[in-house]
Amino acid sequence: MTRLQKMVLKPKEQLVTRLFLSPKLKQNLTVLSYSTYDLINAMKELSLSNPFVSLREPKGEMQNLEWLRAPEGENLIDHLLMQVNLSDWHNWEKSAVKVLIYLLDKDGYLRVDLAKIAEQTEFSLEKLTRAKDLLQSLDPCGIGAADLTECLLQQAMQKADFNPVALEILLDNQLEMLADPKQWPNSKFSISELNDALASIQTLDPTPASDYVVENNIQYLFPDLIYRITDGRLTVESYQTQIPEMVFDEKAYHELKEQSDENKYFSEQKQHYLELKNAIVERQKTIMRLGKYVGKFQRNFLTTMQRRELKPLGLKEAAQALGLAPSTISRAIKDKYIQCQNKIFSLKMLFPREVTTDLSQARIEYDLQQIIKKEDARAPLSDQQLVEIFAKHDVTLSRRVIAKYRKKLNIPNSYSRKAKPTD
């Protein structure tokens, strides 16, 4: 008997366990992941499609941040967000770019310090720098520039036949010289070349946002939770004053249902209303439970607002404490914001990654800065010596990790930090 003849098909039993989410659970998880802005939009969509549902607008005054649409003209923010949503970027890249989009001024410039933004969000300076590059790749060209020269240079670089003298002037940051003909005799270029360069630069748009509506569009960011400190006591409350109330017209529902044979249609309309309403209630309960737990866990940070006081907190740890799945916690913190001591920041900031068993990344960076500040400038500490110092305090770090944080904090190596002897 050949080897092929010995091969036969035999039945094999295998037990496979699969978890299927009910439509109700899927709806709850979807609504849980909504930002307040997305939630309000979902409510508005239901009120438009369901003849028995209306929205009762909140009476609270707007204090904080989501974008309101202008009555006329194309909105710059909408135009940029549409491009971001259609991109194939990583999720963190999309989120980081959106943060920067909301910080653009009326001319489309990004006149902010990325280092300060890094302190207020969950994104590192490196990631925000990457996000700025992605923002500047969007239309209109020149968006997200820090100043006029950078704005014009972005546009000039996109033109294949742009005047080479004008391009060199922009690259050398000599725009002020070009704008002042009195300085032209000191330039290496001829008067004719400078005239042509000026004419080319004047074809560029110094305000890339000028064709879009921005003045009447203020960003309102609705915090989902508000932490308050009174006499040293930390409390948390849900912020719902900007969420409209869904109202179901029971009278019209019953009157029309009795006059029609389409009972299925009427039942579906009420079911859709109840599903979204219940999902919103569950969303608020879950966020509130999470807010109480995280507030207690990160109390030192919330009362001092010092990033070094942040303790490492993972999704699994929070999920175990609340009896929820880590994926539920992930949805609960997605696009959620909190308000504390007149500051608004992402809920994700309260979930810093763990660097060691008991120290957060922010704490490591703070301690590293303090150690180097106190070192002897004549004999600065090497990365290996820094590793040994942390080890004495039961903090295990590698030289590579030390070097990584040094570079992030713009701290040069020990050779560059060594004070030069005076004559």
Residue 88: what residue type? D
State the pLDDT confidence band at 20, using cuts at 50, 70 and 90. low
Of 178, 175, 182, which Cα lies nearest the Cα of 195?
178
Q: Strands 225-230, 337-340: parallel, antiparallel or unpaired by DSSP?
A: parallel
pLDDT tens-digit map of 126-174:
999 999 999 988 888 889 998 888 888 888 888 878 888 888 888 888 8
For residue 38, what pLDDT is reported? 83
Tell me the mean pLDDT in the region 110-134. Answer: 87
CB atoms within 10 A of CB 289: 16
Q: Is the pLDDT assigned to residue 222 strictly greater than 80?
A: no
Task: Round to whole Å and give the CA distance between 150 and 156.
Answer: 10
Q: pTM (2 decimals)?
A: 0.51
Q: Is the pLDDT assigned to residue 185 strictly greater than 70?
A: yes
Residue 185: what residue type? P
Q: Which region among 10-19, 43-52, 248-257, 282-291 has the lowest average model confidence (pLDDT)?
A: 10-19
pLDDT tens-digit map of 367-414:
888 898 888 888 889 888 998 888 887 677 888 888 888 888 888 888
For residue 29, what pLDDT is reported? 86
pLDDT tens-digit map of 268-278:
899 999 999 99
Mean pLDDT of the chain: 81
Tell me the mean pLDDT in the region 86-111. Answer: 87
Specify whether the CB–CB gap between 203 and 100 falls below 8 A. no
**101: alpha, beta or left? (left if phi > 0; alpha if psi -120 to 50):** alpha
pLDDT tens-digit map of 49-77:
888 989 887 754 444 333 323 334 457 88
pLDDT tens-digit map of 91-103:
889 988 998 998 8
For residue 406, what pLDDT is reported? 87
For residue 199, what pLDDT is reported? 86
Is 4 or 308 the better-scoring residue by pLDDT?
308
> What burial class does residue 36 get, using C-beta atoms within 10 Å of its C-beta: 0-12 exposed, 13-18 middle, 19+ buried?
buried
Q: What is the phi/psi pair of residue 128, to 5°?
A: -70, -35
Task: For the chain, give the secondary structure using H, E and C.
Answer: CCHHHHCCCCCCCCCCCCCCCCHHHHHHHHHHCCCHHHHHHHHHHHHHHCCCEEEECCCCCCCCEEECCCCCCCEHHHHHHHHHHHCCCCHHHHHHHHHHHCCCCCCCCCCCCHHHHHHHCCCCHHHHHHHHHHHCCCCCCCCCCCCHHHHHHHHHHHCCCCCHHHHHHHHCCCHHHHHCHHHHHHCCCCHHHHHHHHHHHCCCCCCCCCCCECCCCCEECCCCEEEEEECCEEEEEECCCCCCEEEECHHHHHHHHHHCCCHHHHHHHHHHHHHHHHHHHHHHHHHHHHHHHHHHHCHHHHHHCCHHHCCCCCHHHHHHHHCCCHHHHHHHHCCCEEEECCEEEEHHHHCCCECCCCCEHHHHHHHHHHHHHCCCCCCCCCHHHHHHHHHHCCCCCCHHHHHHHHHHCCCCCHHHHCCCCCC
State the pLDDT confidence band at 221, using cuts at 50, 70 and 90. low
Task: Round to whole Å and give the CA distance between 171 and 175.
Answer: 9
Crossing angle of helices 315-322 and 263-297, in 10° steps, is: 110
State the pLDDT confidence band at 203, using cuts at 50, 70 and 90. confident
Residue 32 makes CB contacts below 8 A (sequence gap 6+) with 279, 282, 283, 286, 287, 328, 331, 332
State the pLDDT confidence band at 227, using cuts at 50, 70 and 90. very high
Tell me the mean pLDDT in the region 223-231. Answer: 88
For residue 68, what pLDDT is reported? 29
